[in-house]
Protein backbone atom coordinates (compact mmCIF):
# COMPACT_ATOMS: atom_id res chain seq x y z
CA UNK A 1 0.00 0.00 0.00
CA UNK A 2 1.39 3.41 -0.92
CA UNK A 3 1.80 6.28 1.46
CA UNK A 4 -1.03 8.86 1.30
CA UNK A 5 1.66 11.59 1.00
CA UNK A 6 3.34 10.07 -2.05
CA UNK A 7 2.74 11.97 -5.28
CA UNK A 8 4.06 10.49 -8.52
CA UNK A 9 5.21 12.96 -11.18
CA UNK A 10 7.69 13.48 -13.94
CA UNK A 11 11.29 14.11 -13.00
CA UNK A 12 14.86 13.56 -14.13
CA UNK A 13 14.75 9.85 -13.25
CA UNK A 14 11.36 9.24 -14.93
CA UNK A 15 12.13 6.78 -17.75
CA UNK A 16 8.87 7.38 -19.60
CA UNK A 17 9.83 11.00 -20.21
CA UNK A 18 12.78 9.82 -22.30
CA UNK A 19 11.04 6.94 -24.08
CA UNK A 20 8.42 9.16 -25.68
CA UNK A 21 9.22 11.32 -28.69
CA UNK A 22 10.32 14.82 -27.75
CA UNK A 23 8.21 17.91 -28.26
CA UNK A 24 9.94 19.89 -31.04
CA UNK A 25 12.01 22.99 -30.26
CA UNK A 26 13.91 25.05 -32.84
CA UNK A 27 15.69 28.36 -32.68
CA UNK A 28 17.50 29.42 -35.84
CA UNK A 29 19.91 32.01 -37.16
CA UNK A 30 21.36 32.76 -33.72
CA UNK A 31 24.10 35.37 -33.83
CA UNK A 32 26.67 34.29 -31.24
CA UNK A 33 29.67 36.04 -32.80
CA UNK A 34 30.47 38.05 -29.65
CA UNK A 35 33.06 35.97 -27.80
CA UNK A 36 32.91 38.23 -24.73
CA UNK A 37 29.20 37.59 -24.10
CA UNK A 38 27.78 34.13 -24.81
CA UNK A 39 24.35 33.76 -26.37
CA UNK A 40 22.11 31.76 -24.02
CA UNK A 41 19.36 29.53 -25.39
CA UNK A 42 16.91 28.44 -22.69
CA UNK A 43 14.64 25.46 -23.24
CA UNK A 44 11.08 25.66 -21.88
CA UNK A 45 11.40 22.16 -20.36
CA UNK A 46 14.24 19.66 -19.91
CA UNK A 47 15.54 18.27 -23.20
CA UNK A 48 15.58 14.64 -24.29
CA UNK A 49 18.12 15.40 -27.03
CA UNK A 50 19.75 18.43 -28.68
CA UNK A 51 21.35 19.08 -32.07
CA UNK A 52 23.53 22.12 -32.89
CA UNK A 53 24.06 23.31 -36.48
CA UNK A 54 26.81 25.84 -37.24
CA UNK A 55 25.80 27.43 -40.56
CA UNK A 56 28.72 29.88 -40.48
CA UNK A 57 31.19 28.62 -43.07
CA UNK A 58 34.22 30.39 -41.62
CA UNK A 59 33.86 30.43 -37.80
CA UNK A 60 33.75 27.63 -35.24
CA UNK A 61 31.06 27.69 -32.53
CA UNK A 62 31.82 26.89 -28.90
CA UNK A 63 28.95 25.21 -27.05
CA UNK A 64 28.71 24.90 -23.26
CA UNK A 65 25.99 23.82 -20.86
CA UNK A 66 26.51 26.86 -18.61
CA UNK A 67 28.17 30.26 -18.83
CA UNK A 68 30.91 28.96 -16.54
CA UNK A 69 31.78 26.31 -19.09
CA UNK A 70 33.06 28.90 -21.55
CA UNK A 71 35.26 30.68 -19.03
CA UNK A 72 38.97 30.01 -18.58
CA UNK A 73 40.46 28.03 -17.00
CA UNK A 74 37.41 25.71 -16.95
CA UNK A 75 37.03 25.40 -20.73
CA UNK A 76 34.18 22.91 -20.32
CA UNK A 77 32.79 23.23 -23.82
CA UNK A 78 32.84 21.48 -27.16
CA UNK A 79 33.30 22.96 -30.61
CA UNK A 80 31.07 22.63 -33.65
CA UNK A 81 33.37 23.33 -36.58
CA UNK A 82 32.46 25.91 -39.25
CA UNK A 83 29.81 24.64 -41.66
CA UNK A 84 29.10 21.43 -39.71
CA UNK A 85 26.69 20.06 -37.11
CA UNK A 86 26.96 18.12 -33.89
CA UNK A 87 25.62 14.63 -33.59
CA UNK A 88 22.26 14.24 -31.92
CA UNK A 89 23.22 14.55 -28.26
CA UNK A 90 21.09 12.59 -25.77
CA UNK A 91 21.33 15.11 -22.92
CA UNK A 92 19.12 16.42 -20.11
CA UNK A 93 19.58 20.18 -20.53
CA UNK A 94 17.78 23.36 -19.53
CA UNK A 95 20.02 25.68 -21.56
CA UNK A 96 23.05 25.95 -23.85
CA UNK A 97 25.54 28.80 -24.23
CA UNK A 98 27.02 29.62 -27.64
CA UNK A 99 29.85 31.82 -28.84
CA UNK A 100 32.03 32.38 -31.90
CA UNK A 101 29.60 31.94 -34.81
CA UNK A 102 27.13 34.32 -36.44
CA UNK A 103 24.62 31.73 -37.66
CA UNK A 104 23.73 28.83 -35.35
CA UNK A 105 20.60 26.68 -35.21
CA UNK A 106 19.59 24.80 -32.06
CA UNK A 107 17.10 21.95 -32.36
CA UNK A 108 15.87 19.84 -29.47
CA UNK A 109 13.34 17.28 -28.39
CA UNK A 110 11.70 18.36 -25.14
CA UNK A 111 10.38 16.20 -22.33
CA UNK A 112 7.44 17.06 -20.09
CA UNK A 113 9.83 17.68 -17.18
CA UNK A 114 9.63 21.23 -15.84
CA UNK A 115 12.85 23.22 -15.50
CA UNK A 116 12.17 23.75 -11.80
CA UNK A 117 12.73 20.03 -11.20
CA UNK A 118 16.38 20.59 -12.12
CA UNK A 119 16.67 23.75 -10.03
CA UNK A 120 15.13 21.88 -7.10
CA UNK A 121 17.81 19.19 -7.35
CA UNK A 122 20.52 21.83 -7.62
CA UNK A 123 19.38 23.28 -4.29
CA UNK A 124 19.90 19.84 -2.75
CA UNK A 125 23.50 19.67 -3.89
CA UNK A 126 23.31 18.20 -7.40
CA UNK A 127 25.61 20.27 -9.61
CA UNK A 128 23.81 21.46 -12.72
CA UNK A 129 25.61 24.81 -12.99
CA UNK A 130 28.54 23.60 -15.03
CA UNK A 131 31.05 24.56 -12.41
CA UNK A 132 32.20 20.97 -11.93
CA UNK A 133 32.92 19.26 -15.23
CA UNK A 134 29.59 19.57 -17.01
CA UNK A 135 30.13 23.17 -18.08
Question: Strand 23-32's sheet: what is its strand order?
Answer: 23-32, 101-114, 45-54
Q: What is the pLDDT of residues 84-122, one digit of tens each?
A: 999 999 998 889 999 999 999 999 999 988 887 765 544
The band of 129, judged by pLDDT with boundaries at 50, 70 and 90, is low
Q: Is the domain 18-123 a CATH 3.20.20.60 member? A: no
pLDDT for 63: 94
Residue 37 neighbours by CB under 8 Å, 6+ apart: 99
DSSP state of 85: B
* Nearest CA-CA partner of 51 in 26, 20, 15, 16: 26
Domain ranges of the chain: 18-123
Q: What is the pLDDT of residues 40-83, one digit of tens each?
A: 999 999 999 999 999 999 999 999 988 888 887 778 899 999 99
Amino acid sequence: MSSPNYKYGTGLQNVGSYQASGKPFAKGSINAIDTAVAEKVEFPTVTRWVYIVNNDGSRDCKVAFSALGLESPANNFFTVKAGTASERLELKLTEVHLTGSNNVDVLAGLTGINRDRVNYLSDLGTNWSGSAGVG
